[in-house]
Amino acid sequence: MNVTAKKPQAATTRVLSYANALLETMDGALAEHPNVFIMGQGVDDFKGIFGSTTELAEKYGAKRVFDVPLMEEAMTGIALGAALVGDYPITTHIRADFSFLAMNQIINLAAKYRYMFGGIMSCPTLIRVVVGRSWGQGAQHSQSPQATFAHYPGLTVIMPATAQAIVDMYPQIINRHPGPVISIEHRLLYNLDFTVAEGHVPLTSYVARPGRDVTVVATSVMVVEALRAAQYVQDTAGIDSEVIDLNSISHPDWDLVAGSVRKTGRLVIADTSWLEYGVAAEVCRQVVLRDPSMLMAPPTMLGMAPAPCPTAKSLEDIYYPSQHETVDAILTQVRGADHGIDLPTERSMTEGYRRFRGPF
Amino acid sequence: MSEDRELYRRLFRTALLIRLVEERIIELYPSDRIQSPVHLSIGQEAVAVGACDALRPDDLVFATYRSHGFYIAKGGRLDRMFAELYGRVGGVSKGKAGSMHLSAPEVGLMGSSAVVASTIPHAIGAALSFKRHGNSRIAVAVFGDGATEEGVYHESLNFASLMKVPVLFLCEDNGLAVHSHRPVRQSYSLVKHAAAYGIASRRLDEGWDMLAVRRATLEAAARARAGEPFVLEIATARYKEHVGIGDDFHFGYRLESDIDAWKKRDPLIADKALVEELTPAIEREIEQAVAFAENSPSPSRAELLTDII
């Protein structure tokens, strides 16, 4: 592919898959910045992290794009060391779960370096981690660690939900963000096509769909789900949902969220991880701290069931919130539990992503 | 004065500076003006001094929580170090680092970390960068013998060997991890283990000898500079407790006689005449640094939330 990260001309749009948006931004970063290099297990193989780094090693050489041994902690530390002397390393984990092996470097070192040294050290770097789901990813290939990482000051944690978010945010980060960034990419998004326009997704939250009846705050693939659900309730019940893509987990725009809730009085939160001590809980905390009287009803929260992820499809189907439940949550917020509107029959959200056929 | 004598004096002076600085810390510590865990390197000065003198000014050192010696030997400002220990804005890191996270990037001392072994891969990353950009600098990972038991040490050795990066692994072997002796912690010989990764190595038993450390480091650094990672293990002795200012022989986990042999060979003890000659000027230097720290204000409230991202 011969592509660059340059934005399309004004008023033009194009269709771009999430994976190709990643490939385009990786390619653009390597082309524009000699100090950028990409390392990770398998970045130069024929699958290229699900198509996001394919053929970049051939194009830029093994000094810029290279495979590494199985060494998650050392890789992250090596990235930090290279960043300290002026390089910009991009590291990848084909499953977010493997980044847990790098927790020491991410939390004890990268997150603290600027502060701990009084601003004289900085380690700008991008850590890409991919969340698995469906096709039996199971307990150790499916975890979505945004709350874990965002808990620690010093890290910037983002969850791009669309190709637009990738092409807008990654160049901002690579060009000028001063600290370590963890981008949590969802595997189910990789194969989806998005309409990409001239735009600017900020490194914080934004309104993905304006509305007046209910606020839906969502993350990652749940933004796509929320937008589908918003369309459904619009079509079936005339309910006008405002969908906010939280987008930045570490630095959300809480004023935007609170302003929306003040307007609608109703709140649904849909996250890709567990609810306990998680992002949904934090959204509630922020809203309640500002003004609990904004809420006309207790918020509804959607996330994974409080268990490790089961492999059996019959269990996985009920482990994740479905389109059925997302629609029900919005309708219940606005019309009450006896809303009487027919729900979509889709129980398994993966029905919406038929192109994902595994194995990983 | 012969060239050798001049070199010896230079190294000796820096080593004595480190020791007198740490002895001053011991005096100050009960006053609580330094409220930071301190890991003293008294007994180990020859390693920092000999090694840093063998490096080029732009070679980088990545260190540990026991880094007063390396900070001074690499040329960090003494007044800013004391201010850092005091938690004052005049400190290297405005008081946010304390003793365990000393750094002086302007003279090539990069971060020091309190988590054992965690800066080892940083040296590899810097060395990788040096190699990518085709310059002749090297990076030095300094760590204790305990750090070699951590997984990241093994990952780092493997990667350094694969990529042939200009890195020097410098192990200060004081035989202790907090209070645990080496034989209960390690099933391997460090130099033999390095060989399994295809990395050349050497053990130097005469860790009290600054000139021997310097020579060994010069040779090791030359290998590293040629893209051949090298493990240099230097035997040394920690006179004081793991953390804090005391002697801990009365706890019985080690004997004072264990380090008698070291003290007999320790030039900072044995070479009384030179100690006497150099001490007054060094003491004045330390007094000025302490005065700088005393006069530096504490960080203001605004500093609490700056420099986070």
B184 vs B252: CA distance, rounded Å: 16
Reported as a pLDDT band with limits 50, 70 and 90, residue A8 is very low
Residues β-bridged to residue A158: A183, A248
Residue with structure tokens 């200060």?
B172
Q: Note the pLDDT of residue B31.
A: 97
Judged by CB atoms closer than 8 Å, whether chains meet at B129 and A81 is answered as yes
B103 vs A117: CA distance, rounded Å: 7
Report yes or no: B13 and B277 within 8 Å, Cβ to Cβ: no
- Report helix, strand or coil for A40: strand
Report yes or no: B143 and B171 within 8 Å, Cβ to Cβ: yes
Q: Collect all residues of chain B within an 8 Å Cβ-Cβ radius of residue A153.
A: 308
B242 vs B308: CA distance, rounded Å: 30
B208 vs B217: CA distance, rounded Å: 14
Report yes or no: A299 and A285 within 8 Å, Cβ to Cβ: no
User: Can you give A46-91 as a three-state secondary structure string?
Assistant: CCHHHHCCCCHHHHHCCCCEECCCCCHHHHHHHHHHHHHCCCEEEE
Report yes or no: A134 and A350 within 8 Å, Cβ to Cβ: yes
Does pLDDT of A9 surpass 60? Answer: no
Q: Which one is predicted more confidently, B75 or A355?
A: B75
Element (DSSP H or E) covering residue B83: helix B78-85
Q: Note the pLDDT of residue A11.
A: 66
What distance, in Å, lies between the first and last C-alpha atoms of chain B?
53
Chain mean pLDDT for chain B:
97
Does pLDDT of A123 surpass 60? Answer: yes
The partner residue sitting opposite A178, judged by closest CB among B113, B126, B309, is: B309
Of residues A174, A170, A278, the one with CA closest to residue A222: A278
Does pLDDT of A4 surpass 50? Answer: no
Residue with structure tokens 């960090």?
B76
Residues β-bridged to residue A214: A241
Percent of chain A with pLDDT over 70: 93
* DSSP states along B1-15: --HHHHHHHHHHHHH
Percent of chain B with pLDDT over 90: 98
Q: Note the pLDDT of residue B124.
A: 98
Does pLDDT of A350 surpass 90? Answer: no
The model's pTM: 0.96
Structure tokens at B159: 């990667």
Q: In chain A, which residues touch B (CB < 8 A)?
A: 37, 63, 68-69, 71, 73-87, 89, 104-105, 108-109, 113-121, 153-154, 156, 177-179
Q: A80 to chain B: nearest residue by CA?
A: B122
Report yes or no: A132 and A358 within 8 Å, Cβ to Cβ: no
Reported as a pLDDT band with limits 50, 70 and 90, residue B2 is confident
Structure tokens at B42: 């008294």
Q: ipTM value of the model?
A: 0.96
Q: Collect all residues of chain B within an 8 Å Cβ-Cβ radius of residue A79.
A: 125
How far A63 CA lies from chain B's nearest CA (Å)?
A: 7
B146 vs B181: CA distance, rounded Å: 9
Structure tokens at A213: 């009846």
Structure tokens at A318: 């009920």
Q: What is the pLDDT of residues B18-27, one digit of tens each?
A: 999 999 999 9
Of residues A219, A203, A182, A220, the one with CA closest to residue A98: A182
What's the mean pLDDT in B256-265? 94
Q: What is the pLDDT of residues B223-242, one digit of tens each?
A: 999 999 999 999 999 999 99
Q: What is the pLDDT of residues A197-253, one digit of tens each?
A: 998 899 999 999 999 999 999 999 999 999 999 999 999 999 999 999 999 999 999
Q: What is the pLDDT of residues B286-295, one digit of tens each?
A: 999 999 999 9
Does pLDDT of A2 surpass 50? Answer: no
B93 touches chain A (CB under 8 A): yes
Does pLDDT of A7 surpass 60? Answer: no
B237 touches chain A (CB under 8 A): no
Residue B134: is it exposed, middle or buried by C-beta count within 10 angstroms (0-12/13-18/19+)? exposed
- Report helix, strand or coil for A113: helix
**DSSP state, residue A220:** T
